[in-house]
Structure 1
Amino acid sequence: MLTVTKKERPFAPTWRAPFESFRRDLSNFWEGLRGDNEWEWFDTMTPSLDMSETDNEIEVKLDLPGMKSDDISIQLNHNLLIVSGERKEEKEEKNKSYHRVERRSGFFSRTVTLPCEVKEEAVEAKYKDGVLTIALPKGETAKSKKIKIKG
Structure 2
Amino acid sequence: MALIPHDSFRNLEGWRRDLDRLFNDFPAFVKGDQQFGAHRIDIHETEHEVVATCDLPGLEKKEDVHIDVDGNMLTIAGTVNRTHEVKDEQMHRQERFYGRFHRSVTLPAAVNEEAIKASYRNGVLEIRMTKLQPPPKKKIDIEFH
| Contiguous gaps of at least 5 residues in structure 2 | 1-28, 138-145
Instruction: Please state which structure has a larger fraction of its residues in strand.
Output: 2
Question: Partners in 2 of 1:118 and 1:128 — Cα distance?
Answer: 23
Distance 1:73 1:142, change over 3 A: farther
Identical pairs, percent:
37
Find the aligned partners of 1:141 and 1:44 in 2 and give their Cα distance.
38
The equivalences for 1:33-52 within 5 A come to: 44-52=36-44
Which of 70, 79, 91 in structure 2 is aligned with 1:86?
79
Rg larger for: 1
Which whole-Å CA distance do the structure 2 matches of 1:142 and 1:101 have between them?
51
Q: What is the alpha-carbon distance in structure 2 between the residues aligned to residue 142 and residue 58 of structure 1?
A: 18
- For 1:59, the equivalent position in structure 2 comes to 51
> 8 Å contact 1:45–1:106 — kept in the other structure?
no
Q: More deviation in 101-110 or 59-68?
A: 101-110
More helix, by proportion: 1
Return the alpha-carbon distance in structure 2 between the equivalents of residues 43 and 109 of structure 1: 7
Displacement of 1:66 in angstroms is 1.2
1:92 positional shift: 2.8
Runs of 4+ off more than 6 Å: none
Instruction: Encode CA deviations 1:1-55: one digit per residue, 9 max, x unaligned.
Output: xxxxxxxxxxxxxxxxxxxxxxxxxxxxxxxxxxxxxx9x897131000001011
User: In structure 2, do the counterparts of structure 1 residues 99 and 119 end up closer, same or farther at CA, with 3 Å as the change threshold?
Assistant: same
RMSD: 2.8
Residue correspondences, number: 104
8 Å contact from structure 2 (residues 57, 123) kept in 1: yes
Distance 1:58 1:72 in 2: 20
Q: Distance in 1 between matches of 2:80 and 2:47?
A: 34
Q: 2:68 aligns with which of 50, 72, 75?
A: 75
Q: Provide, for residues 76-134 of structure 1, a one-character-per-residue CA deviation record: whole Å limited to 9, x for no partner.
A: 1111000011111343357xx54333212111111011111111111100000000000
